[in-house]
A and B are shown apart, each in its own frame.
Chain A
Amino acid sequence: GNSVTQMEGPVTLSEEAFLTINCTYTATGYPSLFWYVQYPGEGLQLLLKATKADDKGSNKGFEATYRKETTSFHLEKGSVQVSDSAVYFCALSEAAGNKLTFGGGTRVLVKP
């Protein structure tokens, strides 16, 4: 079956530091890949997505590139802010109408 593995947290950073959260996946077909973010006290929000190999998703300064050869979709941001403190989830979907399979989440804490 499908699975998503992401690095365990918490990840603690200083403001303006570089952030990377690793995500690798296992899927039988050609999945779409997603990063969702959960800010404290809020629901899951779509951060970015990529639908095919070599696509790059980007939003709010975050980027992730769909790497089929390494089955990875690592999330990066060049300069984090305190407001980026949240839990980040990597997820995949193999088809429209197909369930999302999530990783376990990575908590990020950015200190001023």
Chain B
Amino acid sequence: GAGVSQTPSNKVTEKGKYVELRCDPISGHTALYWYRQSLGQGPEFLIYFQGTGAADDSGLPNDRFFAVRPEGSVSTLKIQRTERGDSAVYLCASSFKGERTQYFGPGTRLLVL
């Protein structure tokens, strides 16, 4: 079956611009996660959705970062006033409710010039 998909696969933007990153989870997965992976490091948690609501957003680094999941399926991670330090691979994962195993998408590589 189809796995987690993320678009775009690559995004280049200029400092100060706004970007949106999209995640389409595995069908039937109610839990959705966003992570950020900097070069040479492990992924770091950003936010977790159960259904439409953000159950845990403790990993968002500041108020320039925001994520939504209005219909409980597709999610969009939004970054305002991008900074060069936001350059990273943004990973999305999903899981069934009540399960700990998360399945990852291929990621969006964001480069802020």
Contacts and interface: CB of A to CB of B under 8 A. Distances in A.
B56 A46 contact: no
B10 interface: no
A85 to B, nearest CB: 16
Contacts, number: 64
Interface in B77-112: 91, 93, 95, 97-107
Contacts of B98: 96-97
Interface size class for chain B?
A: 20 to 34
Contact-residue size bin, chain A (C-beta under 8 Å from the other chain): 20 to 34
Contacts of A81: none
A43 B99 contact: no
Interface stretch (A62-70, A72-80, A102-110): A102-110
Given A43-B104, A51-B100, A102 B42 contact: yes
Interface of B: 31, 33, 35, 40-45, 48, 50, 55-56, 59, 91, 93, 95, 97-107
Given A43-B106, A105-B41, 13 more contacts: A32-B100, A43-B105, A44-B93, A44-B104, A46-B101, A91-B42, A95-B100, A96-B97, A97-B48, A97-B97, A99-B56, A100-B43, A102-B42
B45 A99 contact: yes
A28 interface: no
A100 B45 contact: yes
13 contacts: A32-B101, A42-B106, A49-B101, A91-B42, A95-B100, A96-B95, A96-B99, A97-B50, A98-B48, A99-B45, A99-B48, A100-B33, A101-B45
